[in-house]
Amino acid sequence: MRPFTHLRPDTAGDAVATVAADPDAVFLAGGTNLVDHLKLGVATPGTLVDVTGLTSTAVEDLPDGGLRVGAGVRNSDLAGDPRVRRAYPALAAALLAGASGQLRNMATTGGNLLQRTRCAYFQDVTTPCNKRVPGQGCAARDGWTRYHAILGAAQDSAGLQHCVAAHPSDMAVPMLAFDAVVRLTGPDGDRAVPITEFYRLPGDDPSRDTVLRRGELITAVDLPPSPIAARSTYRKVRDRASYAFALVSVAAAVAVEDGTVTDARVAFGGVAHGPWRATRAEDVLRGAPATDDTYRAAADAELADAAPLDTDVGGNAFKVPLLRGTLTSTLRTLVEGAA
Amino acid sequence: MSTPEMLTPRAMGTPRRRVEGPAKVTGTARYAAEHPLDRPVHLHPVLATIPRGRVTAIDTSAAEAVDGVVAVLTTRDADALADTSDREFTVLQDDEIGFRGQYVGAVLADTPEAAREGADRVEVTYEQDDFRAVLDPDAGELYAPDAVNPAFATDSVIGDADAALGEAEVVVDATYTTATTHNNPLEPHSSIVVWEPDGGRFTIFDSTQGVSTTRSNVATVFGMDEADVDVISPHVGGGFGSKGNLHANVVLACLAARRVPGRPVKYPLTRQQMFSLVGYRTPTIQHVRLGATREGRLSALVHDVVEQTSRTKEFAEQTATYSRSVYAAPHRRTTHRLDMLDVPVPSWMRAPGECPGSFAAEVAMDELAVACDVDPVELRIRNEPDADPETGKPFSSRHLVECLRRGADRFGWSRRDPTPRARLVDGWWSGTGVAASAYPTNRSPGSGATIRYHRPAADGAEHWDVEIAAADIGTGARTVLGQIAADALGVDVDTVEVTVGDTAVPPATVAGGSSGTASWGSAVVDAAQRFRAKYGTDPSDGDEIEGATPENDWSEHYAMSAFGAQFAEVLVHADTGEVRVPRMLGVFAAGRILNPVTARSQFIGGMTMGLSMALHEDSVMDPRSGHVVNHDLANYHIASCADVGDMDAEWIDEEDPYVNPMGSKGIGEIGIVGAAAVVANAAYHATGVRVRSAPMLVDHFLD
């Protein structure tokens, strides 16, 4: 565990300036992921810049009817916010499906978005990992991939850029389904990035999870008004009933009139390098009868390009039928509940 | 011989909460790493990153340069040990690597962080040899060990099982597997060791299931008198067998302590280290063949086991011994074969043998029930033996049939429709199942106990000290020994104070094999009887006496085991394959229950661990690197509270004068025996899918 300096700047601007100027510095918020990485040697920063108190801890109403969630809002507070529970129930459910009560009390909205993969090889510095050390190789590709991606993973024959990691956040999945916007402040000023563009696929640089630039700090997440989100849910399937990362998860919102799906929002967790917006599934759903056959067809459309991993240590081909079943079950329950 | 006399129960059998409970919940009970000592030195180990080969070079210069580092130990400079016959304990003695995660060095520093940083900076160069780390009967040369743990015959043959199978009207022939599992007690293995160079003494605060075992093992390894090794362990946060034997971590801490004489060396293992250094349960491949009549009466029972051991040290799990004692069958055979691998040393984990063996045996019985179209409760009753099926000895007491019947009654079994995949409720397939449990009743010689009488002058209230170096690993042993002492002396239980977990008091055998209460309690009873014989009913202040666990001559004449029956209701989600267990009931016959509060905790604790084995626990060995990939509690899943539904245990009062003066049988392990099988059997009834492996995951139930 490398010794580090712990700084508590007075303003977000000072924090940004410090991290932008020092490649050896990182932001520290709730610390529920980073502190593990310090102990494991996965992260070895020389300076921790503590941003606690530097970003909003409030959930504010926006003039357009949406909500602005401060980056410092704790997961437990966001899950309990009555406006979130009423207008975005899938988000409240996703938050409560994540981690444990103690962790949710510490974890922040900004930190949750930026948590890193729990790939067992990424977290073990004795095994090669392109995400941790670019060009080192990927131990996961032929290893234990139960919690790894089946969609959008980077595959190259040499394995030097390979990455099959999955993003672990539950919260980000409904945020993606509801077209949230991530607000940033950085050395070059403020900007807003739609969450649909915030996460990147591993491509040729698996070390980067997001489009965040050096020194940029998340200040808030905007949830746009979304009538359909009021009838939404989050379904997480995991290897035990609580306190485990998703094998697959589904955030879904659906509107049905006279037995026909008129609109839908669907995103998946546990299956890709980031939360995965299932636009192909949404396309199949819109205008189709609200039946199991439709739901399965929607899943199959999204899974057409799935590339599950078949390994000696434990592959993840099961995620294809699992995701199909989970989406079908989730949509059926959602529609039946509304009827 | 006439029937032995039993103690008259007065305190025994009454519900008493653990006496150390308030200290634990207020945080004042000290666990091994928490004892406050001046100027501690923190140890962080350097672990081998290859599974087989040797160290060719070690560079410690960067580690030594870390601020706060006090010393670095490596294979090149550690003190020589006196006894190197046990390869698990030959820590840092040579450059050979037997498994990934083996100790190759240690860094001592003024802070834990500096020690860890120093360990990260030790540069070790290896030469790696070919290795195998995954159990594979086709790849390795299987061998028969001389015996299986602890001293059972490797094989057993009665009659001609093959011929009987050939003639049987119904045959079940199936292979079952169980995953590698790690004990994972909540408190990691931890030690604080002080070396006093004047006179050469170790003082060891250790998290152990037996201070006397730690003392004798350390004395042997370091070539010392046992009297020069003090071991103190008042509270232990679980062990499940992994703290029953000494492991290399204590040897390392002792070696380190000799490097910094007079300063306490503190070494709590990280969770990750616990996956390579302190034992685990071998994976098993079990081929079971049952031959029976159409009515389900067994004519043949064959249980062939393949499992792994470590090249570093043999451990042969006694997996098939379960099948030697539970069901009647004239023709029977059990075998154990080992695949020797370049892996960490397997060891005891709650009900070694019976736990994985009962999974195969009890699922096979369920398959036989289906094949014969006989109710699975009735099938077991039909195969109840008159005497121990292998030794022919009568059982000192056996009430499996009563457990099955009472459990069936309590569980509502008579309403059960045997048809599988016939109940879909709110999207979940629902089913129920049954399995038997059994665990041998053990009692070990070798414990002593001191009883001392006090009559304070001021208020005249009498007070009794009971001292025995037993281990209370959270089971309530301290509390129960007080109840036993009270009844053996004929005094109020509140006047008895029990001291355990310290080599300053008479030695005790390990808390293992569910033998603790029987062994230690027998020593306490012996001391109490000697006390009364010597001092009568009006002793003087300070009178004391020592007793010891007597041999049990009755074990020559009787087979001794506890039995039980478990029932479960299982739900499997029709779309996702998720498995839930809303209801689980165990009914046990385990002699006299000495304390209903702590006994219930033991039973449902064992059942919960079996549920966890059935649904979750799976140490994933990567064959390319030879290490358990999911080596933390985020990735190695144990049952969470949300996985445990209505879990209940009850018992049948059983009077057995032959086992020990208390009439008690061990209860720490039987709860896990059969627990995974009952979940699998209920899952079959729910879904029609027969899962023959543990854990059962969503994968098994997806189309």
pLDDT tens digits along A13-53: 999 999 999 999 999 999 999 999 999 999 999 999 999 99
Number of A–B residue contacts, CB under 8 Å: 99
- Considering only CB atoms, which chain B residues are within 8 Å of A137? none
The residue of chain A with its CA nearest to that of B114 is: A1
**Percent of chain A surpassing pLDDT 70:** 98
Single out the residue of B511, B31, B29 nearest to residue B268, CA to CA.
B31
Confidence bin at B461 (pLDDT 50/70/90): confident
Give the mean pLDDT of B558-568.
Answer: 98
Q: Which residue of A118, A314, A326 is in closest CB contact with B575?
A: A326
CA distance B26 to B24: 5
Q: Which residue of A41, A120, A322 is in closest CB contact with B698?
A: A322
Min Cα separation A201/chain B (Å): 24
pLDDT at A339: 62
In one-letter notation, the amino acid at residue B387 is A
Single out the residue of A43, A30, A21 nearest to residue A113, CA to CA.
A30
- Taking an 8 Å cut-off on Cβ atoms, the answer to whether B67 and A3 are in contact is yes
Question: Is the pLDDT confidence value at B2 over 90?
Answer: no
DSSP letters along A146-181, please?
TTS-SSS-B--TT-SS-B------STHHHHHHTT-E
**Percent of chain B surpassing pLDDT 70:** 100
Give the mean pLDDT of B600-618.
Answer: 98
Residue A289 vs residue B5, higher pLDDT? A289
- CATH number for the domain whose boundaries are A5-50: 3.30.43.10
Evaluate the CA torsion angle B377, B379, B382, B387 in order and state its sign. Answer: negative
As a whole number of Å, the end-to-end CA separation of chain B is: 63
CA distance B514 to A110: 50
Mutation target vs A (from B99, B635, B644; most A CBs, 10 A cutoff):
B635
E strands present in B159-222: 170-178, 190-196, 201-206
Q: Which residues share a beta bridge with A48? A: A6, A26
pLDDT at A177: 98
| Edge-first strand listing for the sheet containing A67-70 | A59-61, A67-70, A217-223, A181-186, A189-194
Q: Which residue of A127, A313, A322 is in closest CB contact with B577?
A: A322
CA distance B369 to B121: 60
Question: What tokens were used for A199?
Answer: 């996460």
CA distance B310 to B318: 15
Residues B29 and B236 sit within 8 Å (Cβ to Cβ): no
Question: Is the pLDDT confidence value at B459 over 80?
Answer: no
Give the mean pLDDT of B199-228.
Answer: 98
H helix and E strand count, chain A: 12, 12
Question: Is the pLDDT confidence value at B157 over 90?
Answer: yes
Evaluate the CA torsion angle B597, B637, B317, B233 in order and state its sign. Answer: negative
**Percent of chain A surpassing pLDDT 90:** 94
Question: What tokens were used for B635?
Answer: 């990735």
- Considering only CB atoms, which chain A residues are within 8 Å of B48? none
CA distance A126 to B575: 38
Question: Is the pLDDT confidence value at A157 over 70?
Answer: no
Mutation target vs B (from A42, A116, A303, A313; most B CBs, 10 A cutoff):
A313
- Taking an 8 Å cut-off on Cβ atoms, the answer to whether A239 and B697 are in contact is yes
Q: Which residues share a beta bridge with B332? A: B158, B301
Neighbours of B84 (CB within 10 A): 13
Question: Is the pLDDT confidence value at B662 over 90?
Answer: yes
Cis bond before residue A206 (omega within 30° of 0): no
Residues B670 and B514 sit within 8 Å (Cβ to Cβ): yes
CA distance B33 to B206: 8
Question: What tokens were used for B171?
Answer: 């045959």
- Taking an 8 Å cut-off on Cβ atoms, the answer to whether B641 and A247 are in contact is no
Single out the residue of B110, B94, B98, B112 nearest to residue B45, CA to CA.
B112
- Taking an 8 Å cut-off on Cβ atoms, the answer to whether A139 and B641 are in contact is no
Q: Which residue of B574, B615, B698 is in closest CB contact with A318?
A: B698
Min Cα separation B463/chain A (Å): 44
Give the mean pLDDT of B599-627.
Answer: 98
Q: Which residue of B114, B116, B575 is in closest CB contact with A329?
A: B575
Residues of B near A (CB-CB distance < 8 A)?
49, 67, 113-114, 116-117, 120, 427, 573-578, 580, 615-616, 620-625, 627, 629-632, 634-635, 637, 639-643, 697-699, 702-703
CA distance B617 to B643: 13
- Taking an 8 Å cut-off on Cβ atoms, the answer to whether A329 and B625 are in contact is no
Min Cα separation A240/chain B (Å): 7
CA distance B172 to B150: 30
Question: What tokens were used for B618?
Answer: 């799976």
Give the mean pLDDT of B414-435.
Answer: 97
- What is the tens place of the pLDDT at every residue in A45-75? 999 999 999 999 999 999 999 999 999 999 9
Residues A139 and A68 sit within 8 Å (Cβ to Cβ): no
- Taking an 8 Å cut-off on Cβ atoms, the answer to whether A143 and B622 are in contact is yes
The residue of chain B with its CA nearest to that of A41 is: B120
Residues of A near B (CB-CB distance < 8 A)?
1-3, 39, 41, 118, 120-121, 123-124, 126-127, 139, 142-144, 147, 237, 239-245, 247, 312-314, 318, 321-322, 325-326, 328-329, 333
Neighbours of B490 (CB within 10 A): 12
**Percent of chain B surpassing pLDDT 90:** 97
- Taking an 8 Å cut-off on Cβ atoms, the answer to whether B637 and A240 are in contact is yes
- Considering only CB atoms, which chain A residues are within 8 Å of B630? 120, 144
Sorted by where each starts, the structural domains of chain B and their CATH numbers stand as 21-30+444-551 (3.30.365.10), 32-130+185-270 (3.30.365.10), 156-181+280-441+557-701 (3.30.365.10)
E strands present in B282-414: 284-292, 298-310, 331-341
Q: How large is the C-alpha radius of gyration of chain B?
A: 26
- What is the tens place of the pLDDT at every residue in B250-291? 999 999 999 999 999 999 999 999 999 999 999 999 999 999
Pairing of strands B579-589, B561-573: antiparallel
Cis bond before residue B197 (omega within 30° of 0): no
As a whole number of Å, the end-to-end CA separation of chain A is: 56
The residues of B that are catalytic are 669
- Taking an 8 Å cut-off on Cβ atoms, the answer to whether B640 and A322 are in contact is no
pLDDT at B1: 63
In one-letter notation, the amino acid at residue B660 is N
Evaluate the CA torsion angle B516, B519, B522, B523 in order and state its sign. Answer: negative
- Considering only CB atoms, which chain A residues are within 8 Å of B621? 313
- Taking an 8 Å cut-off on Cβ atoms, the answer to whether B615 and A240 are in contact is yes
ipTM of the assembly?
0.97
Pairing of strands B201-206, B448-454: unpaired
Helix/strand/coil for B515: coil
- What is the tens place of the pLDDT at every residue in A259-286? 999 999 999 999 999 999 999 999 999 9
- Taking an 8 Å cut-off on Cβ atoms, the answer to whether B640 and A124 are in contact is no
- What is the tens place of the pLDDT at every residue in B291-318? 999 999 999 999 999 999 999 999 999 9
- CATH number for the domain whose boundaries are A230-338: 3.30.390.50
Average pLDDT along chain B: 97
Give the mean pLDDT of B618-630.
Answer: 97
- Taking an 8 Å cut-off on Cβ atoms, the answer to whether A321 and B703 are in contact is yes
Residues 6+ apart with CB under 8 A from A314: A144, A145, A146, B620
Q: Which residue of A126, A144, A326 is in closest CB contact with B620?
A: A144
Q: How far is CA A57 from the centre of its chain?
A: 20
CA distance B229 to B211: 10
Confidence bin at B456 (pLDDT 50/70/90): confident
Give the phi and the psi of residue B478 in degrees, each rounded to 5: -60, -45
Domain ranges of chain A: 5-50, 230-338
